[in-house]
Amino acid sequence: MGFKTVVFSDIADAPATFVTNQTIIADYSDQDALKKFAQMIDIATFEFENIPLEAVSFLQQHVEVCPNAEVLKITQHRVLEKDFLNSIGVKTADYATSNFAENLNKFGKAILKTATMGYDGKGQFVLKAGDSLPELGSSPWILEKFCPFDSEISVMVVRSKSGEIKAYEPLTNIHKNGILDESYYPAKVSDLLKIKAQDLAKSIAEKIGLIGVLAVEMFVIGDELLVNELAPRPHNSGHFSMDAAVTSQFEQLIRAIVGLPLGSTEFHSTGHMKNLIGDEVNNLEEFYKNPNAKIHLYGKVEAKAGRKMGHINILNSN
């Protein structure tokens, strides 16, 4: 798109550092480095929500940040996120932030999650009534009622500076051990539910004041949708748009934050996205032989168990 980019990362060999014009490697608490970063750029965005809020709030005093720190604050804390969703009339799983033993008995089956810094099922315990609780320490936790969902879907929604808003159609997500394994387009839900999911995502994006892209993860129970999680950034389940949609989620993010008109969110191909988790990245032969498989590798140094090393978009041939 002709833009030059600067990446700020606290990890020297982070994947984004391989594809940018300039890089600043520093701790997120290093205010001199953040100031220098702000001087080098016209606008900042993020692609990971576990950045300390203080770093983004500080940066925002020196340069425009989209989405803003308020959006990040809500979406990086499971309790604030669920409180926000319920305050705008969006349904979530029932949840409790205290009296966990009592609430566990009320819920019957529940998931205890760390309220912050959790992702890919990390920091989560599935419990049933009468189970003893794990050692909780001082960090905040949330107890969520277990939702016996029919399936999981997600919608990527994009909203630009001018207020223009578009949603991609949902994809069906399949998780393995709490980690997204595959996303299927089209989602295996009714046309009515697809529209309902897109409308829901758009309304959340508007009410939270998003400028950028937002993933809205939902549980499907009959014809009801419960929102599980929000991620204010390009999302794993949106990666299928890179090869199967007119405009990828990454291009949309840039269009949204620089104030260009949004591109079409239409998918021109059906198929699915397969994540390469851990050492799956070492078995690519089958995919290289498939002319409809588009392989994306992130260049992460070590294929640790559970680490997302890349993904493959497999387009259906007609």
Cα R_g (the chain), whole angstroms: 20
Residue placing its CB nearer to ligand AMP in the complex, 294 or 311: 311
Among 85, 147, 200, 216, binds ligand AMP (CB under 6 A): 147
Is 125 among the residues that bind ligand AMP (CB under 6 A)? Answer: no
Among 49, 81, 182, 229, binds ligand AMP (CB under 6 A): 229
* The amino acid at 313: N
Is 152 among the residues that bind ligand AMP (CB under 6 A)? Answer: yes
Report in angstroms how near the CB of residue 143 gets to ligand AMP at its nearest.
Answer: 9
Taking Cα atoms as reference points, which of 150, 141, 111 lies closest to residue 128?
Answer: 111
CA 91, 76, 263, 310 torsion: positive or negative? negative
Cβ atoms 208, 68 nearer than 8 A: no
Structure tokens at 150: 């029919």
Residue placing its CB nearer to ligand AMP in the complex, 160 or 172: 172
Q: How many CB atoms lie within 10 A of CB 201?
A: 28
Residue placing its CB nearer to ligand AMP in the complex, 20 or 151: 151
DSSP single-letter state for residue 294: E
Structure tokens at 51: 């950045």
Strand residues in 43-163 grouped as ranges (E): 43-44, 64-65, 95-96, 109-114, 124-128, 141-145, 151-159
Part in contact with ligand AMP (CB under 6 A); list of ranges 145-153, 253-261, 265-273, 277-285 = 145-153
- Map the footprint of ligand AMP across residues 254-313, applying CB under 6 A: none
Residue 318 CB burial class (10 angstroms; 0-12, 13-18, ≥19): exposed
Is 123 among the residues that bind ligand AMP (CB under 6 A)? Answer: no
Report in angstroms how near the CB of residue 217 gets to ligand AMP at its nearest.
Answer: 6
Report in angstroms how near the CB of residue 216 gets to ligand AMP at its nearest.
Answer: 12
Is 146 among the residues that bind ligand AMP (CB under 6 A)? Answer: yes
Residues forming contacts to ligand AMP in the complex (CB under 6 A) are: 93, 111, 118, 121, 144, 146-147, 152, 175, 178, 217, 228-229
